[in-house]
Each structure stands twice: as structure tokens, then as C-alpha cells.
């Protein structure tokens, strides 16, 4: 199994979370996706006034990776919440 820096991956998710657009829920989420080749792709949640049409952070990270040719992934870190300090991981949205 490949080893990687879990803390660095989580910090990348926290950094991505700062770009979230969550004016309705206030629940900002960032995701960092580690590819097999070592690249990390990030994403954040983007809410829409038509609330079910929001895009989750995991999906935006995955779309960024796929659009750059990545196809094999090792890990994902997700950080979310309404707090400012970004200290807790977050479960995937399930979508």
C-alpha cells in the first residue's frame, strides 16, 4: 500500500474549503483527492438557489481530476462545517 501524508491531504481540503460558495446553508466543504501519480486535486461545495442542484466538494474535486486526465485515486480528505478553524474531517455527502 502506498503511504501518504494524511495531514497534508486534510490541509489541502481545508484550503479548498475557503473557496466554498454556501450562502444558504453556511456549511462550507472542501475536498482533496490524491491521485496514484501523487497529484492532488481539490474542490469545494457550490450551492444554488434551487437547493437540490448544489454541487458537492467531492464531485468538484473528481471533475477537476478527470478533466486533467487522472483516473486512479488513492485517497480523499474532506473538511466541512460552519466553524472557521477547520479542525474536523467531514464524511462524504453520499451523492
Tally the domains of the chain: 1
pTM of the model: 0.91
Report the CATH number at residue 55: 3.40.140.10
Find the catalytic residue in 36, 47, 58, 84: 58
Distance separating alpha carbons of residues 44 and 8, to the nearest angstrom: 17
Report angle CA 22, 26, 83 to the nearest 5 degrees.
Answer: 125
Distance separating alpha carbons of residues 88 and 68, to the nearest angstrom: 29
pLDDT 10s per residue in the chain (95 long)? 567 899 999 999 999 999 999 999 899 999 999 999 999 999 999 999 987 789 999 999 999 999 999 999 999 999 998 888 888 778 888 77
In the numeric block, which cell numbers belong to residue 87?
A: 479542525
Is residue 36 part of the annotated active site? The answer reads no
pLDDT at position 2, please? 66
Whether residue 74 lies inside any domain: the answer is yes
By DSSP bridging, strand 73-81 and strand 40-44 are unpaired
**At which residue does the C-alpha cell 477537476 appear?**
64
Whether residue 86 lies inside any domain: the answer is no
Amino acid at each position: 500500500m502506498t503511504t501518504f501524508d494524511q495531514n497534508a491531504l486534510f490541509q489541502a481540503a481545508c484550503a479548498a474549503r475557503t473557496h466554498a460558495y454556501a450562502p444558504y446553508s453556511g456549511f462550507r466543504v472542501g475536498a482533496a483527492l490524491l491521485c496514484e501519480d501523487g497529484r492532488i486535486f481539490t474542490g469545494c461545495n457550490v450551492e444554488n438557489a434551487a437547493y437540490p442542484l448544489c454541487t458537492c466538494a467531492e464531485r468538484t474535486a473528481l471533475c477537476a481530476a478527470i478533466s486533467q486526465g487522472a483516473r486512479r485515486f488513492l485517497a480523499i480528505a474532506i473538511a466541512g462545517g460552519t466553524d472557521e478553524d477547520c479542525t474536523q474531517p467531514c464524511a462524504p455527502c453520499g451523492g
